[in-house]
């Protein structure tokens, strides 16, 4: 399931985002949770239909500010 998201997680692309944490939750659809400095969820996005390039572009825009 979700081969595009799996491809991103298992690739070297993940290494360019050192603040990114990946957690595997059995039975859950892939989701991005953006958190503030107190680890409170600020935004949550379902990414089950995203492709690998979209995931990478999102993190480049949001995590490297």
**CA–CA distance from 40 to each of 31, 34, 36, 43 (Å)?**
15, 8, 6, 9
The residue extents of the domains of the chain are 3-63
In which residue ranges of the chain is pLDDT below 70?
Answer: 64-65
pLDDT on residue 59: 94
pLDDT on residue 58: 96
Superfamily of domain 3-63: Sep15/SelM thioredoxin-like domain, active-site redox motif (3.40.30.50)
Cβ(14)–Cβ(61) under 8 Å? no
User: Tens digit of pLDDT for each residue in 43-53?
Assistant: 999 999 999 99
């Amino acid at each position: 399931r979700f081969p595009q998201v799996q491809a991103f997680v298992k690739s070297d692309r993940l290494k360019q985002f050192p603040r990114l944490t990946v957690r595997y939750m059995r039975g859950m659809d892939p989701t991005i949770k953006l958190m503030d400095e107190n680890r409170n969820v600020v935004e949550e996005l379902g990414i089950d239909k995203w492709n690998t390039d979209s995931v990478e572009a999102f993190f480049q825009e949001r995590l490297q500010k």
